[in-house]
Amino acid sequence: MSAEITRTLQRAAVVCVIILPILYLVIVYYRPGELRQEVPTTQKRFSLQSHLPPPSPCTCPDGSVLLKDHIPKDQYEKVAKRRAKELQQHKARTTSVLSRLLIALPNSPLQYPIQGFTVRPLTTTPIPGLALHAGQRSSYKVSLNVSKGVLTTENVAEGVKVQASFQFENHEAVFPITIKQPQLPVLHDMGTDINSHVTIATKTFLRYPQLKVLLSSIRRFYSNIEVVIADDSFEPEHITGEHIRQYFMPPAQGWFAGRNLAVSQVTTKYFLWVDDDFLFTENTKIEKLVEVMEAVPELDVLGGTVQGNQFYFSLLYEEGEEMEGGCLYRKSQGKFQSLPGYPQCFLASGVVNFFLARTDAIQKVGFDPKLQRVAHSEFFIDGLGSLLVATCDHVSIDHQPKTGNNKDNAHYARFRNPGNSDVEFKLQLHFFKNHLKCVKYG
C-alpha cells in the first residue's frame, strides 16, 4: 500500500515547485495488506518549528578594548545607526529560512526528505521520498504546499531556501528544499613544475636594497619562478629581470592595498607571501609547503618559520547580541590540532608573514586596502571561518639583518610605525566593519 501511495504522491508532486504554492491531492485508494494501527492523536500536531533563542550578549575578557570608547562622541549615534543598517543588509544576504530549527515529530505517518534535496531554478524536479504510511482509509487527502519564498523573483539566480509543508489529517511536517543555481568549478591547472604551481608575491616601500637582496636569494634556488612586486615607493625604481612583474602604486598608498594588489595579479594556484626584507635559504623549500597543501586540499594558508620564529595565534570569537556586537580575543601562540600525516604542522587562526596560500581563497577574503600600516591579524580576522590556516616548522626563511643607513631607516620608520591615529583608526574599523563590541589582544 505504502509503495503505491508513494508512487502516486510522487507523480503528483512532479511539478515545478515554483508554480504550485498550494497543492491538494485527493487519493481514493486502499489496499488490504500489512495493517498499521493508528496512533491515537488527540490534538493537532504541528512540526515543531522552534526558533533558536536570540543571541545573548558576549562577555569581553579582562584586558579587552571597548571599541565604543574609540568612536568620537559626536559621531557615535550616526555611526552606530549606519552600522545597524549594514548588519541588516548583511543578514539579508547571508541568512535564510534554512537556519530555522526544524524538528521531525515522532509517530507521524508522513515520510519526506530532510536533507539533500536541491533543485535548480525554473526546472521541474520531482521531490524524492514523499510517502504516506497510514492505517486504512477509504480515501486519503494529503496536502503539500511550498512557502512564498519560492515565488520571489530576485531569488532566481541565487540560493533560495524553501520550506515545504506536508499535511495529512492532523499531522504536519515541514522540510527544506534548496533552490540554487549551480556554480561552475573554477580550477587551476598546476602544470608540471614549481614555476607553474607557485608565484612569489611581495610588497615593497623605500627598501630597494633589501628587495634586491631578496630577489637574488630567490634566484639562487628558483631561477624561473615568477615574482610579483607591489611598489608604493616615493621614487620608484624599475627592477629588471625575467619573470619579475612590478606594479607601481600611488606613493605610500599602503601595506594592505599593496598586498591586495599583488594577490590580484597572481595567475598560479598558489602564491608564496614574503616580506621585502626576507632572505631565501636552502631550507626555504617551497615544494614542501606545496606538498602539504596538496595533501590537505581544505587548507587555504600554510605558514612557515622566519629566522626561527614560528609566530601564530588563535582567534576566539563570539557573535554577541545584535545591537552591541561581538567579542574577539586574539590569543598569541594559540593553536589547535596537528594535521593528519604532518605532525610538524598544526592548525591555527593566523600565522607569520611567510606563507603559501591558495590564491582564490585569499582573494575571496582580501586584504582591506584601508589598512595602511602595521596590519597583520586583520586579514585573519576578516577570514575567520572562511580560511583554514595551518603552520609548519619544517620550512623556513631568514630575515635580512637591519643595516646601514640611519636616515633611510628613519624615513622608513616614520611611515612604517603606527601613530596614535593609526591605532584609533583600526579600532574604529573593527567597530564598524567587523561589528565588534570589544577586542582583546593577548
CB of 286 to a copy of itself, least distance (A): 19
Q: How far is the CB of 435 from a copy of itself (least distance, A)?
A: 5
Q: With CB under 8 A, what is the number of residues at the site for a copy of itself?
A: 120
Taking the least distance from each CB to a copy of itself, the nearer of 75 and 403 is 75
Q: Which of these, 329, 325, 333, lies nearest to 437 by C-alpha position?
A: 325
Query: Distance of alpha carbon 291 from its chain centroid, rounded?
Result: 23
CB of 89 to a copy of itself, least distance (A): 4
Chain positions 319 to 358 lying near a copy of itself, rule: CB under 8 A, are 319, 326, 328, 336-340, 347, 349
Give me the helices (H) in 222-332, please.
255-264, 286-295
57 near a copy of itself, judged by CB under 8 A: no
Answer for the pair 142, 166: CB distance below 8 angstroms, yes or no.
yes
The one-letter code for the residue type at 93 is R
| CA atoms of 53 and 75, how far apart (whole Å) | 32
Stretch 202-231 residues interacting with a copy of itself (CB under 8 A): none
Residue closer to a copy of itself by CB (options 197, 207) is 197
Q: Out of 382, 408, 422, 424, name the contact with a copy of itself by CB under 8 A.
A: 382
The residue whose grid cell reads 495529512 is 168
Amino acid at 131: A
H-state helical runs in 14-72: none
Residues 130-149 that bind a copy of itself (CB under 8 A): 131-133
The CB density around residue 427, as the number of other CB atoms within 10 Å, is 19
240 binds a copy of itself (CB under 8 A): no
Helix residue ranges, H only, 181-279: 194-197, 208-221, 255-264
Interface segment toward a copy of itself; rule CB under 8 A; list 22-30, 58-66, 216-224, 365-373:
365-373
Q: Which stretch binds a copy of itself (CB under 8 A): 280-288, 303-311, 367-375, 403-411?
A: 367-375
For 243: left if phi > 0, alpha if psi spans -120 to 50, otherwise beta; the answer is: left
Phi/psi for 355 (5° steps) reads: -150, 155
Kindly tell me which residue out of 56, 124, 136, 152 binds a copy of itself, with binding defined by CB under 8 A.
Answer: 152
Given the complex with a copy of itself, which of 103 and 413 has the nearer CB atom?
103
Give the separation between CA 315 and CA 387, rounded to whole angstroms: 12
In the list 1, 173, 213, 351, the residue contacting a copy of itself (rule: CB under 8 A) is: 173
Report the residue from 176, 217, 255, 312 that binds a copy of itself according to the rule CB under 8 A: 176
- Can you say whether the dihedral through the CA atoms of 194, 195, 200, 206 is positive or negative? positive
Within 8 A by CB and 6+ apart from 343, the residues are: none
d(CA 300, CA 357): 6
Interaction with a copy of itself in 23-52: which residues (CB under 8 A)? 34-40, 42, 48, 50, 52
Q: Can you tell me which of 15, 27, 249, 423 binds a copy of itself, judged by CB under 8 A?
A: 249
Footprint of a copy of itself on 394-423 (CB under 8 A): none
Q: Does 83 bind a copy of itself (CB under 8 A)?
A: yes
Q: Which of residues 97-116 bind a copy of itself (CB under 8 A)?
A: 98-116
User: Which of 23, 190, 252, 423 lies at the binding interface for a copy of itself (CB under 8 A)?
Assistant: 190
Please, what is the minimum distance in Å from the beta carbon of residue 356 to a copy of itself?
15
- Helices 73-94, 420-433: inter-axial angle, 10-degree rounding: 40
Q: Which of 275, 435, 437, 438 binds a copy of itself (CB under 8 A)?
A: 435
Out of 32, 72, 185, 401, the residue judged to bind a copy of itself by CB under 8 A: 185
Shortest distance, CB of residue 197 to a copy of itself, whole angstroms?
11
* Nearer to a copy of itself among residue 11 and residue 90 (C-beta): 90
| Among the listed residues 346, 330, 327, the one whose alpha carbon sits nearest the alpha carbon of residue 391 | 346
Stretch of 60-68, 169-177, 201-209, 402-410 lying at the interface with a copy of itself (CB under 8 A): 169-177
- Give the contact letters, 273-302, x = binds to a copy of itself (CB under 8 A), - = no: ---------------------x-xxxx---
C-alpha of 346 from chain center: 19
d(CA 107, CA 113): 16
Q: What gap in Å lies between CA 244 and CA 228, rounded to an integer?
A: 6
**Cβ–Cβ < 8 Å for 331, 314:** yes
**Residue (of 154, 126, 132) closest to 38 by Cα position:** 132
